[in-house]
Amino acid sequence: MTEADFVIVGSGSAGSAMAARLSEDGKHSVLVLEFGGTDIGPFIQMPAALSYPMNMKRYDWGFVSEPEPHLGNRRLVTPRGKVIGGSSSINGMVYVRGHARDYDHWAESGASGWAYADVLPYFKRMEHWHEGGHGGDPSWRGKDGPLHVTRGPRKNPLFHAFVEAGRQAGFEATGDYNGEKQEGFGPMEQTVWKGRRWSAANAYLKPALKRQNLDLIRCFARKVIIEDGRAVGVEVERGGRIETIRARREVILAASSINTPKMLLLSGIGPAGELAEHGIPLVADRPGVGKNLQDHLEVYIQQASTQPITLYKHWNIFGKGLAGAQWLFFKNGIGASNQFESAAFVRSRPGVDYPDIQYHFLPMAVRYDGTAPAEGHGFQAHVGPMRSPSRGAITLKSDDPKEAPKIVFNYMSHEQDWADFRRCVRLTREIFAQAAFDPYRGKEIQPGSDVQSDDEIDGFIREHAESAYHPCGTAKMGRADDKMAVVDPECRVIGVDGLRVADSSVFPRITNGNLNAPSIMVGEKASDHILGRQPLAPEKNAGPWLNPRWETSDR
């Protein structure tokens, strides 16, 4: 097939969901265009191996930011999945819907029909939630969707020490941060099922590819072909030849918040001045394309452990081999979890009405690239603010589709960012100092006990802050009269017929937590808009828990 009713660019979180939903009733032909290769293999499918695929050229686009001026001109890696399943095949498998207030803010900022009451039914439709004996909020969760959501076994006592320490410091506990109450310390959820990474490819795309009306084409998408103001296809390169894959009804971009704006710009949709610089004929002057880039930054606070109970005991060739073999043959053991099994969402200060700090807790001191400190046994918290006021941009370096775009996040460009991060560092130290950690607490590995003043903490942040790999917002959804909006509330590109965007690019503002769940939700909801269906009925009575002390206390 080189022609279909719907052509989707990208097989990632949103793209896979749309491929499954648009082909479901058998009435429409659907083509998915994907440049990356197969996701078969232990590095992707084994949850504990998560640090490998995002560092492998085979699976990752290899994007790097420009030198970031407020982070000592460091260039930060920006992994995006170049593989079946997109970034859901290389991510950390953490499952977070986001806070209800995030979506209410979307609706208030012009994305009408995307308030929490509107999106909750889609979260339920996509989920198959397994409570797993850890408590939770069944009435808020989905029971029979394609996406399995589980909780790790939480056998390591450090997972419980972290939650107890939060309670001892005066914070809330929560049995289900994806339910009514996000705020607090509790178990973390993961997209892992029967010991395997449960990516959007495993959940949606592969089962759907058995249908006659859905096909996947391996190719490099160059740009959208637009004739008389209407998208009619996609120009692709495969086998060394440039050809056109035509869409009878619509072209849908789901190529990531990096590649989607790049394709829009190459297709003549974006700020007129920027396109003129590269000699690209203007199709629609949309100043917001590539702008509004947001991300989550985090630092790792690492503490030595006085007891040899951390994952470090497996951190040798024999231990890794054993864990790998156990996973390969039985799909269980430590290889079967991403090891993020406790979490927290807290508020940074009085007057903040819902959480703006996230914690991932790990019973080991290690970096995302898989390097462990020489100290040996330790534990760590990844911590960072959720709603940075900093905004960056994706722009073209040239009109060559093969050239990576220019990525400037402009991290830490507001004084508020620095105040929020200092708070994160000091708060983590307060939590690690609680009695619950007394049996385990050794010296502080990072930042180290000599880092105390604002200036010293700022220096640590400048040198060590890392992206949590949650880029979004580069083709934001809004009202048609908002000049910075790129798509309307039905995900239609403003000013071009037959073209939609449905991935994390459309987020008006970044959500609380990891972005895989909201990206899949966007694909689910966009599918109903594309098919012209009545959206699922909003759940008007599902209001989130808000801390009654929010105006006067941070806990």
Distances (CA, A) of 256 to 46, 480, 504: 23, 22, 7
**Which one, of 76, 39, 100, lies nearest residue 469 by Cα?**
76
Q: What pTM did the predictor assign?
A: 0.97
Is 13 annotated for ligand binding? yes
What confidence score (pLDDT) does residue 133 get? 67
Q: 105, 360, 382, 470: which one is catalytic?
A: 470
Residue type, 408: V
**Contact assessment for residue 119 and residue 103, using Cβ atoms and an 8 Å cutoff:** yes
Is 484 annotated for ligand binding? no
Domains in the chain, please, with CATH? 1-45+76-141+191-288+471-540 (3.50.50.60), 153-187+294-390+413-464 (3.30.410.40)
Is 18 annotated for ligand binding? yes
- CA angle at residue 253 from 273 to 68, to 5 degrees? 55
Is 41 annotated for ligand binding? no
Is 27 annotated for ligand binding? yes
What is the b/e burial string over 161-196, where b = at least 16 CB atoms within 10 angstroms of the residue's CB?
Answer: bbbbbbebbebbebebbbbbbbbbbbbbbbbbbebb
pLDDT averaged per 10 residues in sequence order, the chain, 555 residues: 95 98 98 97 89 91 98 97 98 97 98 98 98 80 97 95 98 97 97 97 98 98 98 97 98 98 98 98 98 98 93 81 85 87 97 98 80 80 98 98 98 98 98 98 96 98 97 97 97 98 98 98 98 97 94 97
Pairing of strands 30-34, 214-218: parallel
Is 279 annotated for ligand binding? no
What confidence score (pLDDT) does residue 134 get? 67
Is 29 annotated for ligand binding? yes
Whole-angstrom distance, CA of residue 282 vs CA of residue 399: 13
Is 83 annotated for ligand binding? yes
In the structure encoding, which two tokens stand for residue 149, read together? Answer: 């959501």
Pairing of strands 241-253, 499-501: parallel
What confidence score (pLDDT) does residue 51 get? 84
In the structure encoding, which two tokens stand for residue 390, read together? Answer: 């900093």
For this structure, is 470 an active site residue? yes
Is 505 annotated for ligand binding? no
What confidence score (pLDDT) does residue 457 get? 98
Is 22 annotated for ligand binding? yes
**Contact assessment for residue 13 and residue 519, using Cβ atoms and an 8 Å cutoff:** yes
